[in-house]
Amino acid sequence: MTQTTAWNHFLDSPKFEPGHHAVQFFENDSYLAEIVSRHIAEGLRQGEAVVIIATAAHIDAFQNELEADLDLSGPILSEQLVFLDAEETLARFMVDGMPDWELFLQAIGSLLERMASKHSRIRAYGEMVDLLRAEGNLDGMIRLEELWNDLARIYSFSLLCGYGIRGFAQESDLAAFERVCGRHTHVLPAETYSAISDQDGRNRAIAELQRKAAVLERELEKKRLSEAELRESEARLQAAIRARDEFLSIASHELKTPLTALILQTQLKKHKIVKGDLAVLQPASIVDFVDSTNRQLGRLGRLIDDMLDISRIAYGTLVLERSRMDLGLLVRDVLGGLAQEIAGSGSELRISVESAIEGEWDRSRIEQVVSNLISNAIKYGKGKPIEVAVTLHEGVAKLVVTDQGIGISKESLVRVFERFERAISANDVSGLGLGLYICRQIVEAHRGRIWGESELGQGSTFAVELPLTVT
């Protein structure tokens, strides 16, 4: 059995006698185990009957402490030593949240009576009251303390109650703490100052100080937590600011590229006309010029749309306009619209689309998703074959776009669905890193899911699942 240097044997001295009702506060279970096991050992040594009403974990701890020095089987068999589970015992006499005197008498009184017939003195330890405190049943707790005091008028026993001091660690627990102290003949402070004085008032003051220390400790812990939260949210904020700044620089670069191309083209045209090179006014040349201008304007428009979508998502105003539509037909339309780009990339297109996959979706938003995934496959597909499949399974439509291009590393794959995240550096391929983020928002708004599977250099597969109906 371990020794507590500050232990002054008060509980085991003749000063603690039948009729006394002490409260022992404790900070750590190990200290309580030490106190109670010594108390039990001393009781057995004096030939007293001992009843311990504690939680299963505490009973284990007490027995472990004792069994190093004592064989408990004899005292337990002869009922000199009785362990009762606090929760079970409490359940035997609690009625509507309050202890019932008659039932309490049956549960505890009859045991004490049997013990008293064989032993001249009885010592009891209980922590049912601490269980009631933990439940927040303070009135039940005080009532039970009073019932113990009433029981002491019928049977002769000394009683020790155990309370965790941290159970009173809120400023508002002061009244409960005082009521508990007031129902006991002796207050025994917790281990941080366990040298017990002869003056009970002093012990009580010490226990009160310990309670205040527990209050401060709790507040400090709360403060530490909120400081950690603050640091965390600051780090998140800094990361968001960095992402935004990076986005702004990529966005301005991206917006400038088509604009610069347009300005150069028009300047060149003007220069040629001024110089008298009228070939630029030939219909074929003008058609080329208009096509190229349209492409650059289209690119500008898409970038601006993406930026608008981002702010819509941020302000929660991305509203779906659902209508009945066929996903397979839409995918074929999108592929038709991208025919020139696909041809330009050199990628062979392999399509497998089941027919009549109809659902209630926002047509233009789903078009945006399909177009983004296929455009990425073209952009990052290295001119190798691209497969597009649309299937239906158990009320869920599935679109899968697979390329054999540059692929994405595992670390980047988890980021690409985030805002402003790009797997490769800004200079490599143009894009704002917004497309997949917007796709995810759209798909999730449809109660669907989107994910990617890829390895660096091994191509990528992006898949979307959409439930056919709104549930």
Give the binding site for ligand ADP (CB under 6 A). Answer: 372, 376-377, 380, 403, 405-408, 416, 422-424, 431-437, 460
- Smallest distance from ligand ADP to CB 420, Å: 9
For helices 174-182 and 200-274, the axis angle rounded to 10 degrees is 160
Could you give the CA distance from residue 165 to residue 212 in angstroms, rounded to a whole number?
A: 10
- Smallest distance from ligand ADP to CB 438, Å: 8
- Smallest distance from ligand ADP to CB 460, Å: 4
Q: Which residues contact 61 (CB under 8 A, 6 or more apart)?
A: 29, 30, 32, 33
Q: Report which residue type is found at 268.
A: L
Strand order in the sheet with 386-393: 349-353, 386-393, 396-403, 460-467, 449-454
- Smallest distance from ligand ADP to CB 399, Å: 14
For helices 363-380 and 435-445, the axis angle rounded to 10 degrees is 150
Instruction: Mark residue 383 as left, alpha or beta (left: phi above 0; alpha: psi -120 to 50; beta: remaining).
Output: left
E strands present in 139-283 = 158-164, 186-188
Per the listing, tokens 């402003």 go with 420
The smaller minimum CB distance to ligand ADP, of residues 132 and 370, is found at 370
Could you give the CA distance from residue 125 to residue 22 in angstroms, rounded to a whole number?
A: 9
Helical (H) or strand (E) element with 134: helix 128-135
Could you give the CA distance from residue 35 to residue 32 in angstroms, rounded to a whole number?
A: 5
Of all residues in the shown chain, the one whose CB is closest to ligand ADP is 431
DSSP classification of residue 108:
I
The smaller minimum CB distance to ligand ADP, of residues 210 and 460, is found at 460
The smaller minimum CB distance to ligand ADP, of residues 117 and 427, is found at 427
How many CB atoms neighbour CB 182 within 10 A?
A: 11
The answer to whether the CB of 29 falls within 8 A of the CB of 58 is: yes
Query: 97 is written with which tokens?
Result: 């949240």
Query: 106 is written with which tokens?
Result: 């049956």
The smaller minimum CB distance to ligand ADP, of residues 200 and 418, is found at 418
The smaller minimum CB distance to ligand ADP, of residues 212 and 312, is found at 312
Instruction: Mark residue 97 as left, alpha or beta (left: phi above 0; alpha: psi -120 to 50; beta: remaining).
Output: left
Q: Report which residue type is found at 204.
A: R
The answer to whether the CB of 450 falls within 8 A of the CB of 462 is: yes
- Output the furthest CA–CA distance in the chain (Å, rounded): 129
E strands present in 348-418 = 349-353, 358-362, 386-393, 396-403
- Smallest distance from ligand ADP to CB 444, Å: 15
Selection from 366, 444, 352 nearest residue 402 by Cα: 352
The smaller minimum CB distance to ligand ADP, of residues 162 and 407, is found at 407
